[in-house]
Amino acid sequence: MKRRRIIKVKDKTFAISISERAIKSQIRHVAERINRDYEGKEPIFLAVLNGSFIFAADLLREIDVPCEISFIKLSSYVGTNTTGKVREVIGLNIDITGRPVIIVEDIIDTGLTMAHMLETLKQQNPESINICTLLLKPSKLKVDLDIRYCCNQIPDDFVVGYGLDYDGFGRNTKDIYTLI
Ligand code: IMP
């Protein structure tokens, strides 16, 4: 897609907020830390679909240690409890027992999805689990999460692009855009 400062996704208008260049540089920095921290290990990256597909592809190409990648999804079923929406983790078709796991997520908002995912994955007794997120909205966090790798902290605004969507659309831009 051609680079534009303002885009329309469905009925909403967004302005560019993080350039492709800035994203790539942030990813390189995080990947350098992962390469250092996981030296001598063979991590499994678990990328959460759909939003993290572009981030995961760029991140993995900066990783030097031997590694595997697998993709998980959250079911579209939405149950509710007192803390909010909880969705089930589906599609984990790799044995993570005794392995170092890095969850690759596009964005952490309230953190409820991630907290639930951690709980589910821990039941399989991995050696360790760390979180790697492209974006984090710190002011929205509702749970205590140890987020080891975060490329970018953003304000509490809705963003699209670089894999993130608004109602299914807007994933196919190289830059990230904020709702105006
Ligand atoms: P959480 O459980 O509130 O942390 O929700 C995280 C999920 O909400 C992400 O994986 C995204 O699918 C979605 N999400 C949260 N904020 C945004 C946003 O600004 N743009 C696109 N999707 C978002």
The domain spanning residue 77 has which CATH number?
A: 3.40.50.2020
Q: Is residue 179 situated within a structural domain?
A: no
> How confident is the model at residue 133, as a pLDDT?
98
> How confident is the model at residue 134, as a pLDDT?
98
Of residues 11, 109, 146, 167, which has the active-site annotation?
Answer: 109
Sign of CA dihedral 79, 84, 85, 88: negative
**Closest-lying ligand 1 atom to the alpha carbon of residue 179:** 19
The boundaries of the domain holding residue 105 are 20-153
Over the chain (180 residues), what is each successive 10-residue block's mean pLDDT?
Answer: 90 98 98 98 97 98 98 71 66 94 97 91 97 97 96 97 96 97
Q: How far is the CA of 135 from the centre of ligand 1 (A)?
A: 9
**Closest-lying ligand 1 atom to the alpha carbon of residue 106:** 10
CB hemisphere CA count around 133 (13 angstroms): 21
Q: Is residue 131 situated within a structural domain?
A: yes
Q: Is residue 5 situated within a structural domain?
A: no
> How confident is the model at residue 83, as a pLDDT?
54
- Where would I find the beta strands (DSSP E) of 28-166? 44-49, 68-74, 79-81, 84-86, 89-90, 100-108, 128-136, 149-153, 159-160
Q: How far is the CA of 30 from the centre of ligand 1 (A)?
A: 20
Q: Is residue 97 situated within a structural domain?
A: yes
Q: Residue 167 catalytic?
A: no
Q: Work out how many domains the chain is built from and give that number.
A: 1
Q: Among 107, 131, 164, name the best residue to mutate to test ligand 1's pocket (greatest count of ligand atoms within 8 A of Cβ).
A: 107
pTM of the model: 0.94
> How confident is the model at residue 158, as a pLDDT?
96
Q: Which amino acid is at 43?
A: P
Q: Is residue 12 situated within a structural domain?
A: no
Residues linked to residue 71 through DSSP beta bridges, in sequence order? 47
> How confident is the model at residue 49, as a pLDDT?
95
**Which residues line ligand 1 at a C-beta cut-off of 6 Å?**
51, 106-114, 158-160, 164
Q: Is residue 139 situated within a structural domain?
A: yes
Q: How far is the CA of 167 from the centre of ligand 1 (A)?
A: 11
Q: Is residue 99 situated within a structural domain?
A: yes
Q: Is residue 103 situated within a structural domain?
A: yes
